[in-house]
């Protein structure tokens, strides 16, 4: 059993460690459980954040459904499971995985991959050399990588912009939504197998990669 803490209404959880992985699980509960024990845990001065800090070692947090989360580590991975609110996550050398976010997702990694299963709000994703995969994003989405591929599923209720140097781009759109597709590339090509229209824009930028837009 870990330490238990009360979470003020509307407060965000902020988890920081230098060299370990971070796991945050949203579940049916009314408190926050933190493992291991004896970490630095406290409310910020404005009482808007419950801060959980460690210089090294992995951290596991269980929190109420829909909690807003910020998580950052240098050399570990970040796994955010269950239903959470808005999410901000960053790592230098690890992967970032998000199962379900009700709100916006902002995720950044230097060498790791980014996997977002479901985002109800907007997505802003950036990885230098890792791949990016989004199962479903409810609103606008921006994704950028240098050498990794990008696979993104959109609900068609916001514009999509994807930038890559050499990776491929795949965007999946729902039936009944008709995108206006724009693609700029030095040597890559675009293929769109769904009817185009003016419901939302899909913009792709690549030096040598291709872009494909598919129905789903």
Please report, for the chain, the start and end positions of each structural domain, with discontinuous segments joined by +. 104-215
State yes or no: cis peptide before 36, omega within 30 of 0. yes
Q: Is residue 81 within 8 Å of 99, Cβ to Cβ?
A: yes
pTM (2 decimals)?
0.94
Q: Is residue 57 within 8 Å of 20, Cβ to Cβ?
A: yes
Per-residue pLDDT of the chain (216 residues; tens, 9 = 90+): 688 988 887 789 999 999 999 999 999 999 999 998 777 888 887 778 899 999 888 999 999 999 999 999 999 999 999 999 999 999 999 999 999 999 999 999 999 999 999 999 999 999 999 999 999 999 999 999 998 999 999 999 999 999 999 899 999 999 999 999 999 988 889 999 989 999 999 999 998 989 999 987
């Amino acid at each position: 059993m870990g330490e238990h803490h009360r979470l003020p209404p509307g407060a965000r959880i902020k988890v920081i460690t230098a060299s370990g992985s971070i796991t945050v699980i949203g579940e049916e509960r009314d408190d926050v459980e933190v493992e291991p024990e004896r970490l630095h845990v406290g409310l910020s001065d404005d009482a808007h954040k419950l801060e959980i800090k460690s210089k090294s070692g992995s951290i596991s947090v269980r929190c109420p459904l829909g909690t807003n989360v910020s998580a950052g580590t240098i050399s570990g991975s970040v796994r955010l499971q269950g239903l959470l609110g808005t999410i901000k996550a960053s790592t230098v050398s690890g992967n970032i995985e998000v199962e379900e976010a009700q709100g916006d997702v902002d995720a950044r990694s230097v060498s790791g991959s980014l996997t977002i299963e479901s985002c109800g709000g907007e997505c802003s994703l950036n990885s230098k050399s890792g791949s990016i995969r989004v199962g479903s994003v409810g609103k606008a989405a921006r994704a950028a990588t240098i050498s990794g591929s990008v696979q993104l599923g959109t609900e068609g209720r916001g514009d999509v912009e994807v930038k890559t140097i050499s990776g491929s781009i795949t965007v999946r759109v729902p039936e009944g939504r008709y995108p206006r597709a724009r693609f700029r590339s030095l040597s890559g090509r675009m293929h769109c197998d769904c009817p185009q229209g003016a419901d939302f824009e899909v913009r792709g930028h690549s030096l040598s990669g291709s872009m494909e837009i598919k129905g789903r």
